[in-house]
Amino acid sequence: MDPFASLAEAYEAWYGTPLGAYVIAEEERALKGLLPPGESLLEVGAGTGYWLRRLPYPQKVGVEPSEAMLAVGRRRAPEATWVRAWGEALPFPGESFDVVLLFTTLEFVEDVERVLLEARRVLRPGGALVVGVLEALSPWAALYRRLGEKGVLPWAQARFLAREDLKALLGPPEAEGEAVFLAPEAHPPYEEADLAGRRAGNRPALYLGRWR
């Protein structure tokens, strides 16, 4: 069952709210800070193409299994090549891409290890694997876990990973990024709430790592 089937059209709507706009801008800053230059980018689990629209690579490919997300992605990010496929079996020869991005996708795949192996297989020698996860120990994951327990999609089908899980699977990253230390209940001004969350020692909502 596709947990995104009924969510695709409205998937980006939250980014239009004040908190959503703050969160996504912080995530974009962290992601762009970690992505290396290159010719070709593959995003696995590219969703509605939010990142493919914003990332400045000459060749962009999105892999997406959900027909509903894929339809929205194709419409909103026509500059990318879209392929309906699963991260566990990428339909590309080895050493095809300079950069492979997994952004909050591992939470929803069947087989995390298989997806990571596939991502590495299709990377050119010296290419970069960039992985972003919704940190399992963050206040945001606590909220989403609770919603999932109540059957709310897509969280009912999510599994959360902490940075330690990624490092156990991939080894030490070459570089790391973090964003969104404020809690989901934060009030404006969000910059102050974010700083307070950081000072309080909150795990951020987003952890990013880059591996070669």
Ligand X SMILES: C[S@@+](CC[C@H](N)C(=O)[O-])C[C@H]1O[C@@H](n2cnc3c(N)ncnc32)[C@H](O)[C@@H]1O
List the binding residues for S-adenosyl-L-homocysteine.
51, 64, 87-88
Binding ligand X (rule: CB under 6 A), the pick from 28, 88, 174, 176 is 88
* 207 near ligand X, rule: CB under 6 A: no
Q: Which stretch binds ligand X (CB under 6 A): 18-26, 65-73, 166-174, 179-187?
A: 65-73
Return the axis-axis angle of helices 190-200 and 18-34, rounded to nearest 10°: 60
CB 161 within 8 A of CB 147: no
Kindly provide the residue ranges of all beta strands, DSSP E only, lying in the chain, ordered along the sequence. Answer: 40-44, 59-63, 81-83, 97-103, 123-134, 175-179, 206-211
* 197 near ligand X, rule: CB under 6 A: no
DSSP state of 49: S
Binding ligand X (rule: CB under 6 A), the pick from 47, 127, 148, 209 is 47
* 105 near ligand X, rule: CB under 6 A: yes
- The CA distance from 32 to 55, in Å, is 8
- The CA distance from 199 to 207, in Å, is 17
* 82 near ligand X, rule: CB under 6 A: no
CA nearest neighbour of 53 among 62, 44, 64: 62
Q: How far is the CB of 106 from ligand X (least distance, A)?
A: 9
**DSSP sequence for 76-99:** H-TTSEEE---TTS--S-SS-EEE
Q: How far is the CB of 35 from ligand X (least distance, A)?
A: 13
* 45 near ligand X, rule: CB under 6 A: yes
Nearest position to ligand X, beta carbon: 47
* 86 near ligand X, rule: CB under 6 A: yes
CA nearest neighbour of 62 among 79, 76, 45: 45
Q: Which stretch binds ligand X (CB under 6 A): 17-25, 84-92, 172-180, 199-207?
A: 84-92
Binding ligand X (rule: CB under 6 A), the pick from 1, 37, 110, 150 is 110
- Which residues sit at the interface with ligand X, rule CB under 6 A? 4, 44-47, 50-51, 63-66, 69, 86-88, 103-105, 108-110
